[in-house]
Structure formats: structure tokens, C-alpha cells
Chain A
């Protein structure tokens, strides 16, 4: 393996390769972390599953974006309570209360208010009753909504379990009972005359976290101060338990990189793009390099009719218009599943000739040298010569070329994904960009959705190009200075 050591030594002399290798190390570490921490079916079970993202705000910009506006924009907050804050036991009745208190001091309204109830168990045939309350800084206490959990069916045996698979979600800001109750209390307290029809114009979240400041114009102001949200659960005749009660205050900003139109945390998707891109890049590069090298060596060493056939076919494939052909084949075969493999295969099928054509004359040159003649006269077989003499001599060149192929594969995959031909089970940066573009992100100014994936694509491509720059003297031995 001396040629590899030689290669690394030579490459390390160049500044750009050093920077490139450091960048590559970052990419690889991030990829390993993602692979270790993400579930295997991340693409199908989490990323492409809208119900997973039901409790995160849609189209929320990153948290740090509010630094520029100077206003205090509500961040996304989730309160998860696994234990009741208060229990009262009366005759035949247990009252469990789950309550959270929050000091609301933002300059904007939250995007929504959800209450989630998970994993309810009860024993009596009379099912538990649930009430959702809000207590506001203006001393308004409103019972927003109440309901009874579905009772046991005749064939069911206690204990009865409810909301185990998926939680019971009350979207308070869209729940007409809650809105009606709030309107009633607000109208009474502030002498206003808001009707249900006007709520869609006013915005329901303003009813929860504001008060009618100008009665005639139906204008609302934010009511800052201490809010208490609580859920009362009445369990009848004996035991019962609740797994978890969540209060989710939808932010106007979310996480470090914001969310997209179905509330997906973009940072999660972008992080997943690291292993996905590297895998596509490496796989395509390895395939193209092996096929290209194999055909180039065969063509140059065997010569004759093999040479003619290989050279003519590589000439033909090389001169086909790559992007239209890639689009055509990916589109036609897209229904057969495993689309990312398909992209890699199509990419390989039309990118090998470049390498074959460059390698052939190099092989012919090595073939005519004296040590090969010596080996032949000693009775070495063709395969032995190709393996032991020709390939090691070509190795530095092939390795350098294969690194150069990685960014082109990543860019090609991104381009295909951008045209909507990506693999939905394997979210990549190109796909996130495509969804942003298709959803009109650029015409509506959702910059956080489309700029980061592009930066990551460019960063990854530059990493590999920087490494190849340092390898330029190997590709091109005559050249003394590069950068």
C-alpha cells in the first residue's frame, strides 16, 4: 500500500487538501452520529409522515431570526406532565389536575395551542371525564372544553385502555367549543360583541392570548402576564391513570433551522442529508471508478477487437447529453422502488466512459515498458500483470479521479431530486430544496427552507474539490505549482 502513503503524503503538502480533509472529517463524523442516532426507517416513518409533525408550527423561521427584528417572538414550548400536579379523592371520584403556569411576555401571539392526552386507563364502566381550563392574567377563568372518553364496549374487559397508539389531540385554537366559550367570557368582561364568524378574520390565537383593546375595530392587544392552563380529569368508581398530558404552545420560531410547510424540523432533515449524500456520492464514485478502470485497462492491455469495441462504445456514451438522459431513465424506472439506487446506477451507466478513455493510453504506456516484458518472459499471466503491475501504477491517478467524481454525483443527485425525481424514503438536501421550491417558498420569502440545503450541497462538493486540488500534481505530473 505504499502508493496510498505516497499519495497522502503528497496531498498533505497542499493547503487546500488539508482544509478539504478537515471538512471531510466533519462530514463523516456528522454522518456517523446521524446513522447512530436516527432510526433506520427515518424517511418513511418520521420525515414523510405528516402526523409525526402535527404538534410543531408550520413555516416557522429559526429562533435566531428574531434577533434581527428586535421583537420578542414566541418560541415553541411544550410542557409534558407525566404526574398530576394535584389529586383530590372524594367518594367514588378521583379528580386529577394537570396544570402548567407560564409567564407570557412575547410581542406576538403563538401560532397554536394544543393539548395532548396519552395513555388513559380506567376500570369502571362509567368512563372518565376531561375538562380543559385556562386562567388568564386578567382574572378570566374559562372552561374551554369538556368531553367524556369513549366508554367500554360490551365485549371489552377492564382495565380499559384509551389513546395508547396515538394521543388524543385537542387543537384548542381550532376547537369551536373552546372558541365559543372564550368569546362568551371575553364579551362579558370587555363588553365587546365578537361573533364566531369574525374569529377567522381576527385569528383565534388572539382570543387566547389577547384582549379586545379597541372595541369598534375588533382589534386585539397581547395580554402579557401569568397564564395557567389546566386539565381536570374525573375518574369514577375506583382506580384510573393517565400516562401523560402535554400542553403545546406553538411558536412563531422553531429550532435552529426552522420548519417547513408541514411543520417538519428542517434541522433533522438536513442532518439526515449528510449520510445520505455521502453514501450516494461514494457509491456512485466507487461504481464509476471500478467500471471505468476495468474497461480502460482491458481496452489498453488486450487491444485488438476488444479495444475497438470498448473505445467506440465509450465514445458513443460519452457524447450523449447526460442530464436529459439521467432525467429520462430515472423518470421511466421510478416506479420500481429503491430510487436512490436507481439514480446511482443510471449515473454510473452514463459516466464511466470519461475514465476509460483517459486510462487506456496510460495502460498502453505501462504495457510497453521493460518490466512488463520481463514479467511476460517469466511466464506471468495477463491477469497477474494487470493486477500486480498495471493497477498499482495507475492507483494514485484512479484514487484522485474517484475523489473528483464524488461531488459530481452529489450534485447530479441534487439536480434530479430538485426535479422531483428523488427517493422519498431517503430525504436528501435536493429534495428539501425541491419541496421548498414547489411550495412557493421563494415567492413567499421562506429563506430558511431553501438556503441551508444549498449551502450544505455546496459545502460537501467543495470539500471534495479542495482535496482534489492538492492531488492535481498527481493527475498532472508536469504541473509544479497549483494554488
Chain B
């Protein structure tokens, strides 16, 4: 009987397709979940009614100056009230409106906010989000890349000598780092360097007033980002060290590595070809997931440092109940995350010959 060692392409593509499909389902699922919650709790209706009442009050004022007969005024107001309520979609039940909203947001027509404005004064949700993305990348992504590179190289290094004093010390420190909440470290750094030593600013992205020329603006921004950068590196690096160390340690104890050593291969080659090569895919996975997750995860850090990113925007949106903004932001976080997951699935298939569904 002929044994097929290479699975056919279709056998690889079909499961990948299903897996991607289930990942893609996350986005509509989250939209549905949020819309149902806002609708069923009556919060969506409440927001709209308060908006409609506000408009009605203004209309009442202008009508009162034109119509002086009380009963005619009453009738006119009643007529306008119905018009206003139906213009907000309040004449139909909430699920009808919510369904429309899901379709709209799913097709990237993100709508407008009620109160929150962009820096340029626009109330388009897409504009507000777009101008925040670079800020978040600056605050979150750069420290993440830095701590991933530093952490992984340290983790790999200490994993080659497990059980030594350095290894133990680093491992314990990295556990502490893993449990440190970023907001608490942020607070300590602000008190220490911002309040007592007065070396760094305590909050914000730029000085007030911001410097006029571009070069000093960039310097100002760097000066403001040093504390958040340090905070995020302190809390993240431990996770990277520990996970890299565990991955490498796991592989280093495999039989084939021992076999390679037994063959008399130099330690350097064993490390590079037999350990690190195998350790690469899971480490890459961590990096990709970390990067895609980082865009949504900085809510508290951004709030503490007064940073105008997507995280503090989300917090602002929830506190002011900006329905459109809230759902749109969650949708975008989810999309970023699931696209990264799908890319990873494809990468696995291409990189690791052992991965078959």
C-alpha cells in the first residue's frame, strides 16, 4: 500500500477555512452580544429618549414664540414629538434599530458620536478612532516590542543553564513582574519621578503649551512617554522571560536533543538547530498575539498617564455611554485580534510541517 506522506493541499485548506470561519464569527458575535445587552436592559432606549427629549425641548421653545394659542401649541408639539421620536427610530422596537446598527457597523459605517469629539472637532466615530490609533501604537506597541525582544533573549539565555543562581533569580523576578499591575507601577513611577524628583511629567502627551517646532515637539513627546514606556516594560518583560524560558526548557528536555548531544554535536549547533528552531513558532505566536492584543489592553495605562489613545477613548466612551463609539471600538479590537489569529493559522501551516488538523 502506498503511504502518502504529504497530505493533499485540499485536506489542509478545508480545515483552515473552517477554523478561519469560526474565528471570523467572533466579530458578529460580539456585535450581537453588545447590541442585545444594550437593547434588553433598555439602556439604548433610554439614551435615545433623552436625546429626543432634548431636541423636543428646543423645538418647544421655538414653537412657543410662534404659536400663542395654548391648545394649538399643544397640538403642534404633539405632532413634532412624534416626528422627532420616529426620526430617532423610537417608533419601532429596539431590536429593529439594533439590527440596523449591527449591519451598519459590520460594514464599517461607524456613525457619529453624541458628545465626544475628535481633536479637530469632528463627531465621526471613524475619524475619532483613526486619530487615536497612532497614539496607542506609540504608547503600547513600542514597549511591547522592546520587552519582547529583551525578554525572549534573556529567557533563552537563562534556559540554557537551568537551576543556576542567575536562572532562579531571573525566574522569581519575572514572576513578580508578571503579577505587577501596570497601573500600580505607573502610580509609583509618577509619585517617585514626577512628584518627588520632578524629572518627568506626571500626565499627558505634550507640555502645555506644546512646543512650536516639530523637533522639540518630538522631544517633548519622548520626554512624556518615558514613564509609561518604563511602566509597560517593567510589567511585561517578566512574562516574556518566563514564557521563552519555559518553551526552550521544554524542548531542551526532549529525547532528540539528548540524542543530538550524544552524537557529539557541538552545544552551539544543538542550541541553534535543535532547540531554538523548534522554539521559534510558539514564541512568534506569543509575539503576534501580544501585538494584536496590546491595542485593546491599554485602557488603564492610558487613563493613568492621561494619554489620548484608544484605551482611554474606550473608557471615556463607556463612562458617557457613547453607544456607537463603544461598539465600534470593541468591534475594531476584535477585528485586529482575529485577523492576527488567522494570519497565525496560515503561518503555522506554512512553517511547521507537523501541524495538521
Which A positions have Cβ atoms within 8 angstroms of B?
A: 16, 312, 315-316, 319-321, 323-325, 327-329, 331-333, 407, 411, 414-415, 418-419, 433, 437, 442-445, 447, 450-451, 454, 457-458, 461-462, 465-466, 469, 476, 478-481, 483
A324-B330, A465-B178 known; A415 vs B183 contact (CB < 8 Å): yes
Listed from nearest, the 8 A-B pairs whose CB atoms lie closest are A454-B184, A461-B179, A321-B333, A321-B296, A319-B26, A445-B195, A442-B190, A483-B171
For the complex, is B30 an interface residue (Cβ under 8 Å from A)?
yes
18 A-B pairs whose Cβ atoms sit less than 8 Å apart in the complex: A319-B334, A320-B30, A321-B297, A321-B330, A321-B333, A323-B297, A324-B333, A328-B37, A407-B179, A415-B300, A433-B187, A437-B304, A443-B190, A443-B203, A454-B187, A457-B184, A461-B179, A462-B176
A457-B181, A457-B184, A458-B180 known; A323 vs B37 contact (CB < 8 Å): no
**CA gap between A320 and B23 in the complex, in Å:** 10
State whether B43 touches A465 (Cβ < 8 A): no
State whether B188 touches A454 (Cβ < 8 A): yes
A residues near B168, Cβ cutoff 8 Å: 483
State whether A458 touches B179 (Cβ < 8 A): yes
For the complex, is B38 an interface residue (Cβ under 8 Å from A)?
yes
State whether B300 touches A419 (Cβ < 8 A): yes
State whether B293 touches A442 (Cβ < 8 A): no
State whether B26 touches A418 (Cβ < 8 A): no
A residues near B334, Cβ cutoff 8 Å: 319-321
State whether B318 touches A323 (Cβ < 8 A): no
Taking a contact as CB atoms closer than 8 A, the residue among B22, B188, B297, B333 that contacts A315 in the complex is: B22
A residues near B175, Cβ cutoff 8 Å: 462, 465-466, 469
- Additional A-B contact list (12), CB under 8 Å, known A319-B334, A451-B187, A451-B191: A312-B25, A315-B22, A316-B22, A321-B334, A323-B299, A324-B329, A332-B41, A418-B300, A442-B191, A458-B184, A478-B250, A481-B162
8 A Cβ contacts from B148-183 to A:
162-163, 167-168, 171-172, 175-176, 178-181, 183
8 A Cβ contacts from B20-36 to A:
22-23, 25-26, 29-30, 34
State whether A321 touches B337 (Cβ < 8 A): yes
For the complex, is B52 an interface residue (Cβ under 8 Å from A)?
no
B residues near A454, Cβ cutoff 8 Å: 181, 184, 187-188
Query: Nearest residue in B to A430 (C-beta to C-beta)?
Result: B181
**CA gap between A310 and B341 in the complex, in Å:** 19
* B interface, over-half SS: helix
State whether A316 touches B29 (Cβ < 8 A): yes
Q: How large is the interface on B (under 10, 10 to 19, 20 to 34, 35 or more residues)?
A: 35 or more
A333-B41, A442-B190, A458-B184 known; A321 vs B293 contact (CB < 8 Å): yes
B150 to chain A, nearest CB (A): 20
B residues near A457, Cβ cutoff 8 Å: 181, 184
**CA gap between A327 and B299 in the complex, in Å:** 10
**CA gap between A480 and B258 in the complex, in Å:** 14
Taking a contact as CB atoms closer than 8 A, the residue among B26, B29, B191 that contacts A445 in the complex is: B191
Which B positions have Cβ atoms within 8 angstroms of A?
A: 22-23, 25-26, 29-30, 34, 37-38, 41, 43, 162-163, 167-168, 171-172, 175-176, 178-181, 183-184, 187-188, 190-191, 194-196, 202-203, 246, 249-250, 253-254, 293, 296-297, 299-300, 303-304, 314-315, 318-319, 326, 329-330, 333-334, 337-338, 341
B residues near A419, Cβ cutoff 8 Å: 299-300, 303, 315
Q: Which of B184, B253, B299, B333 gathers most chain A CB within 10 Å?
A: B184
A319-B23, A328-B318, A331-B318 known; A411 vs B30 contact (CB < 8 Å): no
A residues near B191, Cβ cutoff 8 Å: 442, 445, 447, 450-451
A310 to chain B, nearest CB (A): 12
Query: Nearest residue in A to B333 (C-beta to C-beta)?
Result: A321
State whether B187 touches A437 (Cβ < 8 A): yes
A residues near B188, Cβ cutoff 8 Å: 450-451, 454
**CA gap between A16 and B172 in the complex, in Å:** 9
B161 to chain A, nearest CB (A): 11
B116 to chain A, nearest CB (A): 16
State whether B181 touches A327 (Cβ < 8 A): no
A319-B334, A450-B191 known; A415 vs B181 contact (CB < 8 Å): yes
B25 to chain A, nearest CB (A): 6
**CA gap between A329 and B330 in the complex, in Å:** 12
